[in-house]
Homo-oligomer: A and B are copies of this chain.
Amino acid sequence: MISQNEYQMLKNAMPFLATLSQEDRNALLQSAIHGHFDKGETIHDGTRCTGVLLVKSGCLRVYLLSEEGREVTLYRLFEGDICILSASCAIHNLTFDVLVDAEEDTDLTVIGGCAFAELADRIPEVKIFALERAVSDFSDVMWVFEQILFMSMDRRLAIFLLDELSKSNTDTIKLTQEQIAKYMGSAREVVSRMLKYFSGEGIVENLRGGIRVKDKKRLRAIAM
Contact = CB atoms under 8 A, between A and B. Distances in A.
Interface of A: 64, 66-68, 70, 72, 91-96, 124-125, 127-128, 131-132, 134-139, 141-143, 145-146, 148-150, 152
B94 A150 contact: no
A96 B146 contact: yes
Each complex incorporates copies of this chain amounting to 2
A94 B139 contact: yes
Contact of A150 (B70, B91, B145, B150): B70
A93 B143 CA distance: 13
Contact of A66 (B131, B135, B152): B152
A119 B72 CA distance: 38
A152 B68 contact: yes
B94 A138 contact: yes
A85 to B, nearest CB: 10
Contacts of A67: 150, 152
A222 to B, nearest CB: 15
A91 B135 CA distance: 9
A154 to B, nearest CB: 13
What 6 A-B pairs have minimum CB-CB distances, sorted nearest first? A131-B131, A66-B150, A124-B124, A93-B136, A96-B142, A138-B138
Contacts of A141: 138, 141-142, 145
B143 A138 contact: no
B124 A131 contact: no
Contacts of A145: 64, 141, 145
Nearest to A72: B149
A125 B124 contact: yes
A149 B64 contact: yes
Given A128-B127, A128-B128, A138 B148 contact: no
Nearest to A67: B152
Contacts of A137: 138
A96 B152 CA distance: 16
